[in-house]
Amino acid sequence: MKTAISSLLFLLIIACKGGDDNQNKGISNIKDLKTRQYAIQGQQLYLQYCSNCHQEDGTGLKRLIPPLKNSDYMLDDVNRSLYIIKNGLKGSITVNNVEYNQPMPENSKLSPIEVAQIATYIYNVWGNEYGLITPEKVKEALSTAP
Ligand code: HEC
């Protein structure tokens, strides 16, 4: 019995270690349960809607796609980011002293909770620790253009 339990424990540890790549490590560091749940959903949505351009690790693509990881622009204004996620963005912007000027397409199909989950993900991994972003906050941000 004792061996069974310890080998089970061993397997569990291996399983946890196995799935713990950089992205997941970010999520498993999130202490608040609800924030973590949002981030887990948000990561799936991010992989579906964002990572093609901004890359899985959020580092962007040369001078074409701005980074989300360590982006001064993103950290500067959460409401503006929520608006961009839903409505896309056109025109020149400066992120970490680099100018970008390619259009980002809108994501009109995303619901407030999906935008909240994506935002909770990008604002709580890669060294960010903003905390939970609620659908109410998203609705509020979308009702006022930045
Ligand atoms: C087709 C490529 C593409 C996709 C897909 C895309 N973006 Fe963008 N994103 C861009 C580009 C290009 C810009 C810069 C727009 C400009 O220059 O006006 C940008 C800008 C941003 C910004 C503000 C600038 C910064 O780096 O902080 C945020 C935040 C952002 N995107 C988040 C997202 C999120 C979250 C998703 C997924 C829901 C997403 N983007 C999907 C291309 C994309």
Please name the residue whose Cα sits nearest to atom 23 of ligand 1: 74
Measured from the CB, is residue 119 less than 6 Å from ligand 1? no
For residue 144, what pLDDT band results from cuts at 50, 70 and 90?
confident
Question: Can you tell me which atom of ligand 1 is nearest the CA of 67?
Answer: 26
| Distance of CA 136 from the midpoint of ligand 1 (Å) | 22
Q: Is residue 17 scored above 70 in pLDDT? A: no
Q: What is the Cα–Cα distance from 119 to 82, expressed in whole angstroms?
A: 7
Measured from the CB, is residue 118 less than 6 Å from ligand 1? yes
* Angle formed at CA 120 by CA 115 and CA 124, multiple of 5 degrees: 155
Q: What is the Cα–Cα distance from 91 to 84, expressed in whole angstroms?
A: 12
**What Å distances lie between residue 134 and 11, 28, 38, 86, CA to CA?**
36, 20, 9, 15
Q: Is residue 93 scored above 70 in pLDDT? A: yes
Q: For position 21, what pLDDT does the model report?
A: 47
Measured from the CB, is residue 100 less than 6 Å from ligand 1? yes
For the four alpha carbons of 119, 122, 124 and 130, in that order, the dihedral sign comes to negative
Phi, psi torsion values for 102, nearest 5 degrees: -130, 145
Q: For position 16, what pLDDT does the model report?
A: 41
Q: What is the Cα–Cα distance from 86 to 142, expressed in whole angstroms?
A: 8
Token pair for 68: 């989300």
Q: How much is the average pLDDT of 115-132?
A: 97
State the distance between the two ends of the chain, measured CA to CA, in whole angstroms.
Answer: 62
From the centroid of its chain, how far is CA 34? Answer: 15
Measured from the CB, is residue 44 less than 6 Å from ligand 1? no
Which one has a higher pLDDT value, 139 or 26?
A: 139
pLDDT tens figures, 58-76: 999 999 999 999 999 999 9
Q: Ligand 1, residues 41, 48, 89: which to mutate, most atoms within 8 A of Cβ?
A: 89
pLDDT tens figures, 26-61: 899 999 999 999 999 999 999 999 999 999 999 999
Measured from the CB, is residue 116 less than 6 Å from ligand 1? no
Q: Is residue 8 scored above 90 in pLDDT? A: no
Question: Are residues 139 and 81 in contact, defined by beta-carbon separation less than 8 angstroms?
Answer: no
Q: For position 19, what pLDDT does the model report?
A: 40
For residue 25, what pLDDT band results from cuts at 50, 70 and 90?
low
Mean pLDDT across the chain:
88
Q: For position 4, what pLDDT does the model report?
A: 59
